[in-house]
């Protein structure tokens, strides 16, 4: 047990989640604050997680024919004005730079890159042979938030990927919009062990300028939903205003269809909130930069023997990204706590007793279970346990999500469900006025998504009692 208040996380996740969350991010050395309000430093340990996410998704994109590229940070004001809905949607949070063009035109720092990219697309796309065009960029984004900021979850500058594709046909665009959303779901569930709800956004919540927006939503332990990624079918609106067209095989000019899709460093925030506990960060093995840490335990006379054996074990397990903590001057207990704070999935303790018994002690971060494992079985045991931790974390989160969804039949039930920090699954007509009203009356519940396989509608809208078009998940959200 920690004796000093300032050593571990000093509040319980269940009692003060905002404070707990900040402490875990800071003390696990994922992130730090920076002097400009609403900005943050992603520290090496946090960035290592982002790199793992990038590695995973770069492979996915490569397999789908998406190329990485980079477009400028600065966007001319006139570009925003071309697509009215888009301009209106982003206007409140665009940051403008002081420097202007020689003609006096203002420049924005990109809040998203549709306009600057499609200017180029219009030059590059001439023929049906140029399609489909699939380009992604990894970059920083600036949205000058006025509401409260939170590490990873909401900051004025963040990192993301944005994919922008152009297709000859609507069908192809529809298919790939969904395909990329599906890849996001796989990333969240397989890599991050975070279950998600998948569906469409309502008209109120869709991306400014899109024909429709699809989304994956996760549900945090404090009862708030978190958008994990979105994929938009942009229709032909942007193509029209940016002059993107191609000559078809029929020798006629056509307007193409476009999609865009993105996820951000927010995923790291979701990762922290979903799995971690009162001892600090808990990382699913697949995303953990270090999966196994070895702690040697010795008195001075045993030191050489223990370290030799510890190095042998490290070598044997090197395919799991294993670290040997052989620092002098820290007791084993200190090291246990530190690596628990940083969420390393598996700990191996090796001391004189273990060497004698040809074994090591294996300790899981997710449930603290300790077990003696014979050296001959270690490789297979580590492999199995890492897999089991990954599955266990997903299952816990998935059970929580399932338990949190409450089917409601009227407004009173919806309101009650939101007050109890659950997700209400409600019949809904889809009108913006109704959604505004629900948000207002429930103290902030927004529609998270209309599931793709929405059950047959048999009821009336919870707000206006007209026949409902579909069922929608409502929850408060980050």
* Binding site residues, RNA, CB under 7 A: 1-8, 18-19, 22, 33, 35-39, 146-151, 279, 297-300, 303, 328-329, 331-334, 336-338, 340-341, 347, 349-354, 361, 363, 368, 370, 440, 443-444
What is the sign, positive or negative, of the torsion defined by CA atoms of 343, 405, 196, 461?
negative
Residue 134 or 476 with smaller CB distance to RNA: 476
CB of 421 vs RNA, minimal distance in Å: 11
What is the token pair recorded at 98?
A: 């002081």
Q: Rounded to an integer, what is the distance from CA 241 to the centroid of its chain?
A: 32
Residue 122 or 361 with smaller CB distance to RNA: 361
CB of 150 vs RNA, minimal distance in Å: 5
Query: β-pairing, 246-247 with 253-254?
Result: antiparallel
- Alpha-carbon span 339 to 318, nearest angstrom: 18
What is the sign, positive or negative, of the torsion defined by CA atoms of 219, 418, 463, 467?
positive
CB of 6 vs RNA, minimal distance in Å: 4
Whether 228 and 137 have beta carbons less than 8 Å apart is answered as no
- Alpha-carbon span 476 to 332, nearest angstrom: 43
CB of 444 vs RNA, minimal distance in Å: 5
- Alpha-carbon span 229 to 446, nearest angstrom: 16
Residue 164 or 476 with smaller CB distance to RNA: 476
- Alpha-carbon span 175 to 171, nearest angstrom: 6
CB of 385 vs RNA, minimal distance in Å: 15
Residue 8 or 459 with smaller CB distance to RNA: 8
Residue 103, burial from CB neighbour count under 10 angstroms (0-12, 13-18, 19+): exposed
114 CB contacts (<8 Å, ≥6 apart)?
Answer: 83, 86, 164, 209, 234, 238, 260
Residue 2's CB: how many other CB atoms inside 10 A?
11
Residue 231's CB: how many other CB atoms inside 10 A?
26
CB of 159 vs RNA, minimal distance in Å: 17
Residue 364 or 469 with smaller CB distance to RNA: 364
Residue 251 or 328 with smaller CB distance to RNA: 328
CB of 279 vs RNA, minimal distance in Å: 7
Residue 350 or 414 with smaller CB distance to RNA: 350
Residue 52 or 303 with smaller CB distance to RNA: 303
- Alpha-carbon span 201 to 232, nearest angstrom: 10
CB of 57 vs RNA, minimal distance in Å: 27
């Amino acid at each position: 047990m920690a004796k000093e208040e300032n050593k571990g996380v000093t509040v319980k996740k269940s009692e003060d989640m905002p404070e707990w969350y900040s402490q875990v991010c800071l003390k696990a050395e994922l992130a730090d604050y920076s002097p400009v309000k609403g900005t943050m430093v992603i520290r090496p340990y946090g960035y290592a997680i982002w790199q793992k996410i990038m590695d995973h998704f770069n492979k996915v994109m490569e397999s789908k024919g998406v190329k990485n590229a980079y477009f400028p940070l600065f966007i001319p004001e006139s570009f925003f004005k071309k697509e009215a809905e888009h301009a209106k949607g982003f206007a409140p949070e665009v940051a403008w730079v002081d420097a202007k063009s020689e003609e006096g035109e203002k420049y924005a720092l990109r809040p998203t890159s549709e306009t600057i990219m499609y200017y180029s697309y219009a030059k590059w796309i001439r023929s049906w042979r140029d399609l489909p065009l699939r380009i992604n960029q990894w970059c920083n984004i600036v949205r000058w938030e006025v509401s409260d900021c939170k590490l990873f979850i909401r900051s004025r500058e963040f990192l993301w990927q944005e994919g922008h594709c152009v297709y000859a046909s609507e069908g192809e665009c529809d298919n790939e919009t969904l395909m990329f959303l599906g890849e996001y779901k796989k990333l969240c569930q397989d890599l991050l062990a975070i279950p998600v709800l998948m569906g469409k956004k309502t008209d109120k919540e869709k991306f400014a300028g899109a024909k429709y927006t699809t989304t994956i939503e996760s549900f945090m332990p404090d009862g708030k939903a978190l958008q994990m990624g979105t994929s938009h079918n942009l229709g032909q609106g942007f193509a029209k205003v940016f002059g993107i067209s191609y000559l078809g095989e029929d020798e006629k000019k056509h307007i193409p269809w476009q999609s865009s899709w993105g996820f951000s460093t927010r995923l790291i925030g979701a990762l922290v909130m979903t799995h971690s506990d009162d001892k600090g960060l808990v990382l699913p093995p697949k995303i953990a930069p270090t999966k196994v840490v070895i702690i040697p335990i010795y008195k001075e006379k045993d030191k050489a023997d223990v370290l030799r054996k510890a190095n042998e074990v490290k070598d044997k397990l090197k395919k799991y990204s294993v670290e040997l903590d052989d620092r002098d001057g820290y007791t084993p207990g200190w090291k246990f706590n530190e690596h628990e704070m940083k969420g390393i999935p598996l700990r191996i303790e090796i001391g004189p007793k273990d060497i004698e018994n040809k074994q090591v002690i294996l300790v899981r971060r997710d449930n603290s279970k300790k077990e003696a494992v014979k050296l001959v079985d270690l490789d297979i045991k580590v492999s199995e346990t890492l897999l089991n931790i990954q599955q266990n974390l997903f299952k816990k989160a998935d059970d929580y999500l399932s338990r949190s969804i409450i089917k409601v039949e009227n407004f009173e039930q919806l309101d009650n469900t939101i007050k109890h920090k659950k997700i209400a699954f409600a019949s809904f007509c889809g009108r913006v006025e109704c959604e505004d009203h629900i948000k207002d009356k429930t103290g902030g519940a927004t529609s998270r998504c209309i599931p793709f396989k929405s059950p047959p509608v048999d009821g009336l809208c919870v707000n206006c009692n007209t026949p409902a078009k579909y069922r929608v998940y409502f929850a408060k959200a980050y």
